[in-house]
A = this chain, B = another copy of it.
Amino acid sequence: MAALAGVSRGTVSKALNGTGRLRPQTRQRVLEAAESLGFQPSPLARGLISGRTYTVGLVTTDSIGRFSAPVLLGAEDALGAGRISVLLCDTRGDAIREQHHLRVLLARRIDGIIVAGHHTGPRPPLPGPLTVPVVYAMDPSEDPRDASVVPDDTAGARAAVRHLIDSGRRRIAHVTGPEQHHAAIVRAASALTVLREAGLPLASGRVHFGEWSEAWGRQALHTLLRAAPDCDAVFCGSDQIARGVADALRDLGRRVPQDVALVGYDNWSVMATACRPPLTTVDMNLGELGRVAALRLMEAIGGRPSTGVRALPCRLVIRESSGPADL
């Protein structure tokens, strides 16, 4: 190739790797020669020259469940579909396993790490000293100097409750997951704020904290209707809970949305579309979240690190479960 372009081998290397000082014409000549030969520099060869491995570690904590899978795919897309490869490590939520994976990743001289969680609650940073940039996706680092990307759950819950108020609901209840879970706490606090701003009470007088399950949705609906039989809407902290609430309402002969409107959270397609009727819900845009995390990581690898938590907008997906009340 050097012969074809009429330059030295060192010049070829500089041209193909975008390093060193070359005249634009020279670089162009080398690239054309490379192309005419069908030459693609191997990642290993590139790595030996640049000191980079074009490999990123993706550490997940939830056995690649429905929260980390879309984050992972979004990140993979942003990393150029193979231009930068993804080394996958799942920690199954175990700190020892996480440390082991971290050692292996660093020994492999990866260029950076994305840590993808599934709780949305703050987590301890990876144990240092780290020699590569890290971006935390979904579960932010407790250290504000780290770079984190999270869904804006406060705005997501706000959009859900505003939508119910705007469609004429006045006796809105909230059923959600465990009282200690960050996602449940943030969404509940936001729902209460919106109701207070609108001068509306919380139906049944309290947030129904419980589990992220359909069974809890069914059970909570009965409890809440005993305290607030005139409840005309339920905002649920997850689609699974909303599905349970929908089934319990159906059993009681209450119509959704005419008698009680329903909004879920997650836009988990198998739940939201199989629900009767299909569920209005909040989508956390997890693919976009993974993409932004990967872009922040690449900026840091490129020498432009950033710090702090970046909250990305959620999106309200309107389906039949939240139509107007039957007045």
Chain A residues within CB distance 8 Å of chain B: 40, 42-44, 55, 58, 63-66, 69, 72-73, 76, 81-83, 85-90, 97, 100-101, 103-105, 107-109, 213-215, 240, 243-244, 247, 270, 274, 276
Contact = CB atoms under 8 A, between A and B. Distances in A.
B76 A88 contact: yes
Nearest to A84: B104
Contacts of A43: 104, 107-108
A17 to B, nearest CB: 15
B88 A274 contact: no
Give 6 nearest A-B pairs by CB, closest first: A214-B274, A82-B104, A88-B88, A64-B69, A42-B107, A86-B88
Q: How many of these chains are in the complex?
A: 2
A43 B65 CA distance: 29
Contact of A63 (B65, B73, B85, B109): B73
A70 to B, nearest CB: 8
A251 to B, nearest CB: 8
Nearest to A106: B42
Contacts of A73: 63-64, 90
Given A87-B87, A107-B43, A108-B44, A82 B100 contact: yes
B215 A274 contact: yes
A44 B100 contact: no
Nearest to A215: B274
Contacts of A213: 274
B76 A69 contact: no
A262 to B, nearest CB: 17
Nearest to A70: B63
A185 to B, nearest CB: 23
A65 B58 contact: no
A108 B40 CA distance: 12
A109 B53 CA distance: 13
Contacts of A105: 85
Contacts of A55: 87
Contacts of A88: 58, 72, 76, 86-88
11 contacts: A64-B72, A81-B97, A81-B100, A81-B101, A82-B101, A82-B104, A83-B104, A85-B108, A87-B88, A240-B274, A243-B274
A238 to B, nearest CB: 11
Nearest to A45: B107
Nearest to A275: B214
A274 to B, nearest CB: 4
Given A63-B73, A69-B64, A270 B108 contact: no
Contacts of A44: 107-109
A152 B274 CA distance: 29
Nearest to A42: B107
Nearest to A72: B64
Nearest to A92: B73
A90 B76 contact: yes
B240 A270 contact: yes
A104 B85 contact: yes
Given A63-B69, A64-B69, A85 B85 contact: no
